[in-house]
Amino acid sequence: MPHRDLSAVEADVRSWFDQYVSTFIGLAAAGRTDPAPLLDYFAVPITMTTDAAHMVLTSTDALTAGLANELQALRDAGYGGSTALDHQVRALNERSALVEVTWARNDTGGREFQRVRVLYLAARTVAGWRTTASAILSP
């Protein structure tokens, strides 16, 4: 089986993910808690894991509630923005890629209040690129 150059897939995923980042940070920094603009970046069902829990969100309503909770938590923390540190994209094949990034989250005064490393599995679906799974990595 010949080795394929997957750099075009990585560039495509990077562009898609950058749009997601811009949308998410824009909503959260504005204090908005309606996640509707984010829904097209995720597949349903989606699997999410942390050290504390494993969740499978099997409906758009469950995804909407989960994203709304995250946006509300950031609003409550006085969120002002995030910086994506050491952002890495690795194409696995023509239809999937891993995105790994450390988020440095800042409050409205510019002070960092949280760092979190996240691994996203993205898949090219009939609707375009979507996150199908995410994991918060242990520090």
Interval 27-54: pLDDT, tens: 999 999 999 999 999 999 999 999 999 9
pTM over 0.85: yes
Q: By three-state DSSP, how is residue 33 classified? A: coil
The answer to whether residues 63 and 57 touch, using CB atoms and an 8 Å cutoff, is yes
Structural domains of the chain, count: 1
Report pLDDT for 2: 56
CATH number at residue 27: 3.10.450.50
Tell me whether residue 1 is in a domain.
no
Of 116, 130, 120, 111, the C-alpha closest to 85 is 116
CA distance 75 to 68: 10
Structural domain containing residue 68: 7-136
What are the backbone dihedrals phi and psi of residue 91, each rounded to the nearest 5 degrees, phi first?
A: -70, 135
Residue 39 forms part of a structural domain: yes
pLDDT in tens, 59-106: 999 999 999 999 999 999 999 999 999 999 999 999 999 999 999 999
Give the residues across from 98 on adjacent strands: 90, 121
Residue 40 placed within a domain: yes
2 located within any domain:
no
- 45 part of a folded domain: yes
